[in-house]
Amino acid sequence: KALLKSAELANKIRHAEDFGLKVTGLEADFPAVVARSRKVSQRHERGVAGLFKKYGVTPIFGEATIVAPGKVKVGDQELTCKHLVVATGARAKVFPGIEVDGERVLTYREAIVRDVKPASVTVLGAGAIGLEFAYFWRGMGVDVTVVEGLSEILPREDVEVAKECRKHLEKLGIRFVLGTFVDTAVRKGDGTVVTLKDGRTIEADLVLVALGIVPNSAGFGLEEVGVTLERGFVPVDASMRTNVPGVYAVGDLTTRGGLAHTATRQAEICVERIAGHHVADLGYEDIPSCTYCVPQVASVGLTEEAAKAKGIAYKVGKFPFQANGKAQGAGSAEGFVKILIGDPHGEIVGAHIVGSEATEMIAEFGLARANELTADEILHTVHAHPTYSEAMFEAVAQALGRTVHL
């Protein structure tokens, strides 16, 4: 996210004259940009280490093997416990024909620390990771092409929102190749070549493979002690318990993972219940999804397509940031807020935001869903003026036929 901030700032400076400012000679110091992001990451790492010390947590570094439920071996050291929580995460999914070498054909792990600026990059996959790296590189002046096998970017998001996001990314100069899958992606000399299923080829300095994730569930004893796997992922119950007593799993390893904030809440519930505390189940449908390119995309609940498929009666409200004073003043008026309101009861079926501050705004709709608030309750909550968040109640008002600002 530190890399994305540098790209966002660079793009703002390129349009400084829109703010009455004259700036000449903008140059991205690519190694310095990457170095700053590493410093931010390392600062967080030191913070976590400090919290471990504060709360009496002893980290043990090494490769662990689960010998039996409640028994783990790290090197020559054997540890015993009553409760074992596994949080081994996931790694980038790589398909046959895609030859990752870590130098020219990369996953996000190599890309995030690579401090040599490429002239061109082909990004495979238009999900959150793919788009965020595409936005970063383009902000640094790199030629970027994104390949997506499906017909639109951000396939899990509302189609209208995804189209709006793509429109603005294309204005930045990012090219999209949609509706065709990748056959091969290989290194070719000092560059790469991607061959698509339709026979077209794309050459670039680098390839980023951003085609999803696979869980880190093999090679350390999970299956050997009897833990059930589904396509490599670990199914868990509401308390994060696996099918083996005393063994728990949280995060991207589980069938319900994929987001850092989901993993955090899973871990909290797991540990609190181990300690005997009563806490509510995790409402996965109330967890927001966020993509941090600019414009940002954030959503919670059902897309309009999903609501239709489920036969849910709903009303749609939409409010553009072009009609929002704060967005206009900030020079960030792209995008809109879209909300689906249940008919006739007014529950929040789904909420979708594409715009500059989308990821900061979505929590209000998540709070509303989690606490079963209605559209009327959002509408009658006074939102400060001028703020981006005014667009949220305005979208509700539009759905209810009560807006006066459109």
126, 232: one domain: no
Residue 2 lies in a domain: no
189, 98: one domain: yes
362, 332: one domain: yes
Residue 37 lies in a domain: no
Among residues 113, 142, 108, 140, the alpha carbon closest in space to that of 124 is found at 108
Q: How does pLDDT run across 156-181, given as a tens digit for each residue? A: 999 999 999 999 999 999 999 999 99
CATH assignment of the domain containing 370: 3.30.390.30
Q: How does pLDDT run across 118-156, given as a tens digit for each residue? A: 999 999 999 999 999 999 999 999 999 999 999 999 999
Global pTM value: 0.95
Name the percent of the chain lying above pLDDT 90.
98
- Containing structural domain, residue 268: 68-89+214-282
| Mean pLDDT on 13-31 | 94
276, 308: one domain: no
Q: Predicted confidence band at 296 (pLDDT cuts at 50, 70, 90)?
A: very high
CATH assignment of the domain containing 75: 3.50.50.60
Q: Predicted confidence band at 80 (pLDDT cuts at 50, 70, 90)?
A: very high
198, 342: one domain: no
Total domains in the fold of the chain: 3
Is residue 285 over pLDDT 90?
yes
Is residue 317 over pLDDT 90?
yes
Q: How does pLDDT run across 329-341, given as a tens digit for each residue? A: 999 999 999 999 9
Report the C-alpha gap between 32 and 18 in whole angstroms: 27
Is residue 17 over pLDDT 90?
yes
| Mean pLDDT on 288-296 | 98
Q: How does pLDDT run across 334-386, given as a tens digit for each residue? A: 999 999 999 999 999 999 999 999 999 999 999 999 999 999 999 999 999 99
| Among 15, 44, 380, 385, the one annotated catalytic | 385
226, 78: one domain: yes
Q: Predicted confidence band at 406 (pLDDT cuts at 50, 70, 90)?
A: confident
142, 275: one domain: no
Is residue 404 over pLDDT 90?
no
Would residue 385 show up in a list of annotated catalytic residues for this protein?
yes
